[in-house]
A and B are shown apart, each in its own frame.
Chain A
């Protein structure tokens, strides 16, 4: 028996758009809505370089990653051929216009995955590069 967490109304997500869902731990979850009012949920992290999929253009049942335009399937989280890789997908249900995500998955899924890094210190910017923390320039 899974426990479902109430997230938002379907109408809170723009048509052919998405919203970000924050979690206690781990990278955000992106919830998407297509023009058929279907709702999908994926980890907000492209399998390529970690781009936030929630910021991409949604079409059909796919989203184009905003960083390098990989096409990711909303239903399975997988990149379209010939690109390879998948991002974790989250169970998602819609009841009377309300979007729910699975509480256990929210708390436990894909906690090990690191967000992409940028800025001073993030020399390679490679995914999962551990040795970096954002340095704010001010001292006081």
Chain B
């Protein structure tokens, strides 16, 4: 079959990203040719500022080398500007007469800098700041001249000014608005920024309106005159007052343009469905985006549609901003200026150079503006995107996500100040230098890519903010904007909620039915989606959906914890942390008999036997004769208790008995992630109930219940939930909360993250206010757990494939 022809006009970041995405999914569908007006391969335009500042070279910012085009059989017409497109004959014509026919056309003409219409704008030494030629002109001017004026105190203008200053020029920034970066910062942050830049040596003329540029005899600019009559001498004028979508060609083709080339949700122009447009030139729902993250989202959708999959939809992006001036951290997103009916939380330390403002409306975060300490930018951005109710965390919100117990990177919050050998990711031992190197050498753009290549932030995720900062100043721009809906894994475009909903609504009972129904892209999923789907099936349809052990992680398949040498650990259940002499004797005997190298008391008041060979597992279980502790599973693990009123002179309640009752009622309970309980007999709280998924604290008049605590990666103090009178109530409320979490939590989401996602108020409504609903949930849990097998003893009922324990020997 003859290949279709795809022609791309414009060789910029959004367009080439579209081609990359297209080649990834449909490598042989099109003959591709590309026209680019600049005589360069695709480069990272955002990094022109570091090039200007002398921190990087032009070669370093090339994204796709000439070889990339050849390797992918793409014809590149570099340095040829398209002047005409005949939509009837479907032919593209460049200024030198080169022609290409097309079946599909991709318009990525980007944007043009806006040039102030003042007298003298055409003088020598008056330039815009947009491409490599402009950057070279500035670098060149800095070697010959002394004085520069930058018109425009926005993102681009300040980066240009900073770069020229670093190259030794005296720079004055002229800004007509009352403070710098007025579209990204509020007045306070804008003035902090101005002060910090003044300390570095920049001069500012705020509120000055340019009237005229005057030239000398050679036709080169010599001064700038303002409306108030003042005048500043200069040898170079850089106009950075904004960009306009470049729609000249599109208009000549009679494509509908309105603040850009108007496109629909599949990035096709509304005028001609053969023609797509992505990038700064495209107007989607009235917005032409100028930041890279949304453009990459557009690229993905356009590629998907070009590949004839046609399932992607672009529905707009929220954007956030960061400035690429080394050593200055600022971040803003959403409606940071506030609006009618909005409330503001402000923290201001002008001497320390830190300013944070959060804008809240209807209990939701709608805007954020940070200066000086931006490590929580991505946290706020996520809250903003998710539209989550923040009333329950409002008192702590301004201090960010990292204010409490965030372990693993020495409490660092300024990546730029970290040395290259400083550790960023404490889980995987990745230092800053390694991350920077990978970003530069492998051309990484997104957090996901950095995770894949370096493993930084890939385990516990507590250093995500730092990694994003590093990504931002190494690759430029803000790449943190992930689509609102995160796909479960590469096997599907559906997110966790969609899969859960579909399983419930359509009564899907097996993994293969689910994959078929949800149009999975891979025949049998992967190690990420299969365990999740398996959990959703068995938690949604207990006793009906069949558990698939081959879709469980090894620990839940062999019912023991795999260790780094391939042996296993065995943790028997000790109800409420209590044991007996005969249990201990059996454990001791098993340790001797099977030569188990390490015996350790766990944090959950149990005993861990480490280094058991897989062949011995069944016999060890049998010899010990105690129930499975499920210490290997996403299930109820331990119920930690203190001694309680039976012995303790302070105890007010029998916490050990309460713990045993809870454990007996809910053991064998699989959940989205591991679940830990604790019961303390008095407010001294020796069982540490404040950092458990459900923590119970006895008081003289009954029991206090706390939920969604976590002692792990990030210490999260549990929320006080309710006060209960009887042990029966403790069982019912705890069970109901667990069942709610079981039914609604996403796989691998701990209770703290689940409650953060849905909001504590929602959980209170479901459990505390809806009495019928609570009872129903508690009954559903009891139904699900009734008759569940102990996998250590009822192998068949628990679908344990016993063949795994035996080794084969060649005949």
Which A residues fall within an 8 A CB radius of B? Answer: 5-8, 12, 14-17, 19-23, 28, 31, 34-35, 44, 49-52, 55-60, 62, 64, 66-67, 69, 71, 82, 101, 103, 106, 115-120, 122, 125, 134-138
Contacts and interface: CB of A to CB of B under 8 A. Distances in A.
Interface string B517-533: 00000111111001100
B598 A119 contact: yes
Interface string B558-571: 10001111110000
B90 interface: no
Interface string B577-601: 0000000000000011001111100
B564 A138 contact: no
23 contacts: A15-B550, A16-B524, A17-B801, A19-B803, A19-B804, A19-B808, A22-B807, A23-B810, A34-B524, A35-B524, A49-B564, A55-B554, A56-B554, A59-B522, A82-B442, A82-B453, A115-B566, A118-B564, A118-B567, A118-B611, A119-B565, A134-B595, A138-B592
Given A17-B801, A34-B524, A134-B611, 11 more contacts: A8-B808, A12-B808, A16-B550, A44-B566, A49-B564, A50-B566, A56-B527, A59-B524, A60-B523, A67-B564, A119-B565
B553 interface: yes
Interface centre among A34, A64, A101 (most CB of B within 10 A): A64
A17 B550 contact: yes
A7 B811 contact: yes
B contact residues, range: 35 or more
Given A12-B803, A17-B801, A60-B522, A135 B597 contact: yes
Interface in B793-811: 801, 803-804, 807-811
Contact of B565 (A17, A22, A115): A115
Nearest to A20: B807
Given A6-B810, A7-B811, A17-B801, A116 B566 contact: yes
Contacts of B554: 55-57, 66
Contact of B591 (A8, A122, A137): A137
A118 B592 CA distance: 19
Interface of B: 442, 452-453, 522-527, 530-531, 550-554, 557-558, 562-567, 591-592, 595-599, 610-611, 801, 803-804, 807-811
B524 A103 contact: no
Contacts of B525: 59
A122 B565 contact: yes
Contacts of A135: 597
A57 B807 contact: no
B591 A138 contact: yes
A6 B811 CA distance: 5
Contacts of B526: 57, 59-60, 62, 64, 71
A89 B378 CA distance: 44
Contacts of A116: 564-566
Contacts of A71: 526-527
A24 to B, nearest CB: 9
A69 B523 CA distance: 19
Q: Which 9 A-B pairs have the closest CB atoms?
A: A64-B527, A118-B565, A5-B810, A52-B566, A6-B811, A57-B527, A55-B554, A66-B554, A136-B595
Contacts of A20: 807-808
Interface centre among A20, A28, A34 (most CB of B within 10 A): A20
- Interface residues of chain A: helix, strand, loop or mixed (majority): loop
A119 B807 contact: no
A122 to B, nearest CB: 7
Nearest to A107: B810
Given A21-B807, A22-B808, A56-B527, A119 B611 contact: yes
B527 A14 contact: no
B597 A137 contact: yes
Contact of A137 (B552, B553, B565, B599): B599
A58 to B, nearest CB: 7
Contacts of A122: 565
Contacts of A134: 595, 597, 611
A12 B803 CA distance: 8
A22 B459 CA distance: 33
A64 B525 CA distance: 12
B563 to A, nearest CB: 5
B542 to A, nearest CB: 23
Nearest to B526: A59
Contacts of A51: 564, 566
A8 B598 CA distance: 35
Contacts of A101: 810
A104 to B, nearest CB: 12
Nearest to A125: B564
B522 A119 contact: no
A136 B597 contact: yes
A137 B598 CA distance: 7
B524 to A, nearest CB: 5
Contact of B810 (A21, A44, A56, A120): A21
Contacts of B551: 16, 57
A12 B178 CA distance: 77
A64 B551 CA distance: 11
A28 B807 contact: yes
A120 B566 contact: no
A119 B610 contact: yes
B563 A118 contact: yes
Nearest to B567: A118
Contacts of B552: 57
A57 B808 contact: no
A134 B531 CA distance: 34
B779 to A, nearest CB: 34
Nearest to A49: B564
A36 B596 CA distance: 39
Contact of A106 (B523, B550, B596, B810): B810
Contacts of B564: 49, 51, 67, 116, 118, 125
Contacts of A120: 597-598
Interface centre among B552, B558, B597 (most CB of A within 10 A): B597
A37 B340 CA distance: 65
B565 A103 contact: no
Contacts of A66: 553-554, 562
A47 to B, nearest CB: 15
A14 B801 contact: yes
A106 B810 CA distance: 9
A16 B566 CA distance: 20
Contacts of B531: 57
A112 B723 CA distance: 63
A7 B808 contact: yes
A116 to B, nearest CB: 5
A66 to B, nearest CB: 4
Nearest to B453: A82
